[in-house]
Amino acid sequence: MFFHRTPRFVQQLYPSLIWRKKTKDKTIFLTFDDGPIPGLTEFVLDTLHKSHVKATFFCVGGNLNKNRNIAVRTIEEGHQLGNHTFNHLNGWKNSTTDYLKNIVECEQELHSLDQKKGLFRPPYGKLKRSQIKLIKQNQKIIMWDVLSGDYSKNISPKDCLFNTIKATKRGSIVLFHDNIKAEKNIKYALPRYIEHFQKKGYSFGLV
């Protein structure tokens, strides 16, 4: 069970993190976590390319290292990459020192691809206050207000699409996954989600 919208009280507990962008424009910010993964990330890139949409990919450093060619394509097509740690660590289960080291390892992969945007997203959305304080010194911590739940075995592709559309507002930061667990849902929901909002006059921006 999860909330498709991040509850307001959670957002208020951590006001220094970025949950949603303040805008009066019809703009949505798509983000994809956990890649690059052969096949699936390429599906996402093809979908975005067809609809002229740019997005932000929060990459796992280990996957960047293994699938550098996909990362290069992602950048060449106008998307931006952010940091999602090297080993997809859970902040609550790791010391601040180990956690920050892992972020730096991912940062090195990003820098070797000339991606120096200073964008960070914590795996599982889990961070200790001590980690937040240090990460914030040189990175923007980008959370989300809309969770597609694409990785969940308990929702159907149709519900994933419907609930994600329903949860989205102007300025929403929406989380999908280019992760094998999400394959069935994202392949159905992503193209339809984009089409739905483009028909309503929305555009998609970079966080």
Query: Which positions are annotated as active-site residues?
Result: 33, 177
Toward Zn ion, which CB reaches closer, 82 or 123? 123
CB of 127 to Zn ion, least distance (A): 13
List all residues 6 or more positions away from 4 whose beta carbon is below 8 Å from its beta carbon: 146, 147, 148, 149, 163, 164, 166, 167
Binding of Zn ion at residue 150 (CB under 5 A)?
no
CA separation for the pair 134, 88 (Å, rounded): 18
CB of 125 to Zn ion, least distance (A): 9
Instruction: Indicate the DSSP class of residue 182.
Output: G
CB of 84 to Zn ion, least distance (A): 6
CB of 122 to Zn ion, least distance (A): 8
Residues 67-126 that bind Zn ion (CB under 5 A): 123
CB of 34 to Zn ion, least distance (A): 4
List all residues 6 or more positions away from 93 whose beta carbon is below 8 Å from its beta carbon: none
Toward Zn ion, which CB reaches closer, 33 or 145? 33
Toward Zn ion, which CB reaches closer, 123 or 191? 123
Toward Zn ion, which CB reaches closer, 2 or 195? 2
Residue 147 pairs in a beta bridge with: 175
Binding of Zn ion at residue 34 (CB under 5 A)?
yes
| Nearest in space to 55 (alpha carbons), one of 196, 181, 194, 197 | 194
Q: Which two tokens stand for residue 11?
A: 């957002």
Binding of Zn ion at residue 178 (CB under 5 A)?
no
Q: Are the C-beta atoms of residues 30 and 204 closer than 8 Å to each other? A: yes
- Exactly one of 4, 17, 30, 33 binds Zn ion (CB under 5 A); that residue is 33
CA distances from 179 to 17, 43, 92, 156 (A): 24, 11, 22, 16
Segment near Zn ion (CB under 5 A), from 12-20, 30-38, 41-49, 143-151?
A: 30-38
| Total number of residues that touch Zn ion (CB under 5 A) | 3
Toward Zn ion, which CB reaches closer, 49 or 140? 140
Look at residue 197 and give its three-state secondary structure.
helix
Applying CB under 5 A, the residues found at the interface with Zn ion are: 33-34, 123
